[in-house]
Amino acid sequence: MSEKSVQEMTAKELLAYYQAKLDEEARQAKANGKLVCWSASVAPPEMCVAMDIAMVYPETHAAGIGARKGAMDMLEVADRMGYSVDCCSYGRVNMGYMELLKEEAMTGKTPEALANSPAARVPLPDLVITCNNICNTLLKWYENLAAELNIPCIVIDVPFNHTMPVSEHAKEYIADEFRNAISQLEVICGRPFDYEKFHQVRRQTQRSIEQWNRIASMSRYKPSPLNGFDLFNYMALVVCARSRDYAEITFRKFADELEEKYKKGESAFKGAEQNRIAWEGIAVWPYLGHTFKTLKNQGTIMTGSAYPNMWDLTYDAEDESLHSMAEAYTRTYINTCLDNKVAVLRRIMEEGQCDGVLYHLNRSCKLMSFLNVETAERIQEKNGLPYVSFDGDQTDPRNFAPAQYDTRVQALGEMMEQAADGGQA
Amino acid sequence: MYTMGIDVGSASSKAVILRDGKEVVAGLAVQAGTGSSGPGRVLEEIAATSGLDLKDMAFILATGYGRTALPMADKQMSEITCHAKGVFFQDPSVRTIIDIGGQDVKAIALDDRGGIRQFYMNDKCAAGTGRFLEVMARVLEVPLEEMAEYHFRSKNPAQVSSTCTVFAESEVISLLSRGTAKEDIIAGVHFSVAAKACALAQRVGVRREVVLCGGAAKNGGVADAIEKELGAPLVVAQNPQLTGALGAALLAYEEMMRKERSA
């Protein structure tokens, strides 16, 4: 694919192109003896990218497998390994995938479940990097990967923010964690850290995030040119390529397209949007189409979600103390106190002019599910918007029932209609 | 003007015909739900009872799990809205509804105009539902309609603590094998259902009047256990299995009124 044709691509084409390119680059890196790192989705990639390490993101990879209906094959491998259905399904899909890659590497034969999988082919890692700023399961999951593969595991430890704003000593601690990771990388790579490249990568990350935030801000328009489910799709690049220009190019194109759409008076919906909701929680990847269409069929558009907003990692790239970067990587809303979480969600609902909220009680994500009950009550107390919750799972299709989802979503639609009619049932 | 509400659930199919949004002309239930002969049979039987045909209906509104599989319906709405409408029509003093259906148990809080303030439903689990009661009745070899009789004979209800239907079934089997009296096991089963329903009701906030509807409300033992568990008086809806279909028929009438106003 020539550079010229990249310039002619639509945002959707760019998304597919760069996703495939990232996977290919990781495979090439492996083939050429360069290092490959598997990384947690909100762990900082800046240090690894500065050291020219190819990055692979198991959460995004698992989500893709789920969306392509390939999760069950991986989950069955994880079942056989002994992982309970109560463990995170991203983790289980990834452990299953890793096991199959390992079997292939050890025997020279590709296991059938891997050969037939719709999963994008990614290579085994030479190191892993994880961070506890969005969940604690990521620590144990990555420790397991490192133990199974006998490879180094870099952990960026981030304290939980009981109070906001983030304290100076927390920022200093996290900046030290970054510096410690740099020292580990020097040992793993066997060469001095490239501080100049690190600076450039931080600048690039900020250019990508700026464009990402441009996209997210489009839902403030009414009718909205942005369908919130698109953020779930484009999220792949803010996770996997925010420190590369791939994300910046794609997001700029998409934001331009949305602005163009808005100027022409076009909305994300072909018909008129009846009401707007916030979606709290991770997508149900194996049923992404179903969850979207059920809402669409009743004229509901999703215009707010804090989940893609986790990658609003805006910081000062010129700050050599790394305090600003440290703050960005610790203020993710689920790593902060309930008051702040509620404030973040309320702001997202206000900006998206939402009429109701749909909470995903995600069996995989105990952290988000635990917080939803109190969060929902507090938010309703403040803004009075109706809400419902449904049981589901990010990648285990066995934990989601479409009919139950449909009933709850329809009831939410009826409650929003009731509120618009002045409260009469 | 006649309107029809049809409520096709997982275990039964119900229909109500309403004249001018006020008078119930006919209403009945068939114990077979979506995907079975139930929906067809309930339509045939209500036609025979009322002497009215589908073409006599100005508007048909469907609800329940099988609501989207009924080609004759003009509109589909959720059972939450339909139950709220039906129960409030019967008793405007209702503020909390507990509905126990075949695979759902839900609590709905209403405002003083009958609007839905909040609702919570069971998660993806059969505990506390009508299906749970059916499984227990089968294990105990007691017909469902006789469960209440056993319940009121119980002096010392057994503890059935499992939240999983399969585990609760083995718990009941082990109680049977230990020689625990059937009436005590049945009362224990009813209290287990009540605990699940009351947890949801307490979550929405219990405000009087509290009305019980859904197929399980026909079992006086369940109603008794819920009343004791809630510590508040419980009203069992009239024809409790039909309140969803009644609400659907009322909402069908409102649809016609809205159409007439906008015409």
Secondary structure of residue A401 in the 3-state scheme: coil
* Range scoring the smallest mean pLDDT among A49-53, A164-168, B122-126: B122-126
Cα B99 to Cα B120: distance, rounded to the nearest angstrom: 11
pLDDT in tens, A374-397: 999 999 999 999 999 999 999 999
Between positions 80 and 109 of B, the ones with CB within 8 A of A are: 80-81, 84-85, 88, 104
Residue B83 contacts residue B244 (beta carbons within 8 Å)? yes
Residues A183 and A205 in one domain: no
Specify the residue for token string 């580990």.
A184
Gap between the Cα atoms of A317 and B64, Å rounded: 55
> Would you state the pLDDT for residue A111?
97
- Round the average pLDDT of chain A to a whole number and report it: 94
* One domain, residues A353 and A402: yes
Please check whether residues A348 and A232 belong to one and the same domain.
yes
Q: Are residues A137 and A238 in the same domain?
A: no
Whole-angstrom CA distances from B202 to B92, B120, B145 are 21, 10, 28
pLDDT of residue A163: 94
In a domain, A171, yes or no: yes
- Based on the fold, state whether residues A206 and A138 are members of the same structural domain: no
- Domain of residue A412, residue span: 199-420
Residues A289, A151 within the same domain: no
Q: Give pTM, 2 decimals.
A: 0.91
- Please tell me the predicted confidence (pLDDT) of residue A4: 62
Last residue of a domain, one of A178, A195, A212: A195
Q: Identify whether A219 is part of a domain.
A: yes
Cα–Cα distance measured from residue A147 to residue A151, given in angstroms and rounded to the nearest whole number: 7
Same domain, A207 and A303: yes
Residue B253's φ and ψ, nearest 5 degrees, are -65, -40
Hey, is the C-beta of B182 within 8 angstroms of any chain A C-beta?
A: no
Share of chain A above pLDDT 70, in %: 98
The candidate with the shortest Cα–Cα distance to A124, out of A35, A257, A189, A213, is: A35
Segment A324-334, tens digit of pLDDT: 999 999 999 99
For the segment A96-115, the average pLDDT, to the nearest whole number, is 97
If one counts every other C-beta atom within 10 angstroms of the C-beta of residue B162, the result is: 15
> Of B167, B236, B166, B160, whose CA–CA distance to B196 is shortest?
B160
Phi and psi dihedrals of B118, rounded to 5? -165, 155
In chain B, the domains with their CATH numbers are 1-91+241-263 (3.30.420.40), 92-236 (3.30.420.40)
Say yes or no: A241 and A349 in one domain: yes
- For chain A, the domain total comes to 2
Average pLDDT over residues B170-191: 95
* ipTM for this prediction: 0.86
Contact B81 A425 (CB under 8 A): yes
Inter-chain CB pairs, A–B, below 8 Å: 52
Task: Note the pLDDT of residue A422.
Answer: 75
Q: What's the CA angle centered on A412, arms A406 and A418, to 5 degrees?
A: 135
Whether A96 maps to a domain, the answer reads: yes
Q: Choose one of A176, A195, A214: the last residue of a domain.
A: A195
Q: Is residue A385 part of a domain?
A: yes
Q: How far apart are CA B74 and CA B53, in angstroms?
A: 15
pLDDT at A145: 97
Asked whether the beta carbons of residue A401 and residue B65 sit closer than 8 angstroms, the reply is no
**What CATH number should be reported for the domain holding residue A404?**
3.40.50.11900
Q: Which residues pair with A280 in a beta bridge?
A: A359
Each residue of A14-55: pLDDT tens digit? Answer: 999 999 999 999 999 999 999 999 999 999 999 999 999 999
Q: Cβ of A290 under 8 Å from any chain B Cβ?
A: no
Mean pLDDT for chain B?
Answer: 94
Average pLDDT over every residue of B14-41 = 96
Find residues 398-417 of chain A whose CB sits inside 8 Å of chain B: 399-401, 403-404, 406-408, 410-411, 414-415
Question: Are A153 and A264 within one domain?
Answer: no
| Cβ within 8 Å, pair A418-B116 | yes
Q: Do B111 and A400 touch (CB under 8 A)?
A: no
| B124 has a pLDDT exceeding 80 | no
**Domain-embedded: residue A37:** yes
* Residues A135 and A232 placed together within one structural domain of the fold: no
Chain A contact for B76 (CB, 8 A cutoff): yes
Same structural domain, A243 and A361: yes
Domain boundary among A160, A177, A195: A195
Quote the CA–CA distance of B112 and B115 in Å, as a whole number.
7
Statement to judge: residues A189 and A85 lie in one domain: yes
Q: Partners of B57 in the beta sheet?
A: B2
- Is A425 within a domain? no
List pLDDT tens digits, range B218-234: 999 999 999 999 999 99
Q: Give yes or no for A298 touching B (CB within 8 A).
A: no
* More confident position, A269 or B97: B97
Residue B139, pLDDT > 80, answer yes
Region A106-131: what's the mean pLDDT?
97
In chain B, residues with a C-beta closer than 8 Å to the C-beta of A378 are none
What CATH number should be reported for the domain holding residue A78? Answer: 3.40.50.11890
The shortest C-alpha distance from A414 to chain B (Å) reads 7
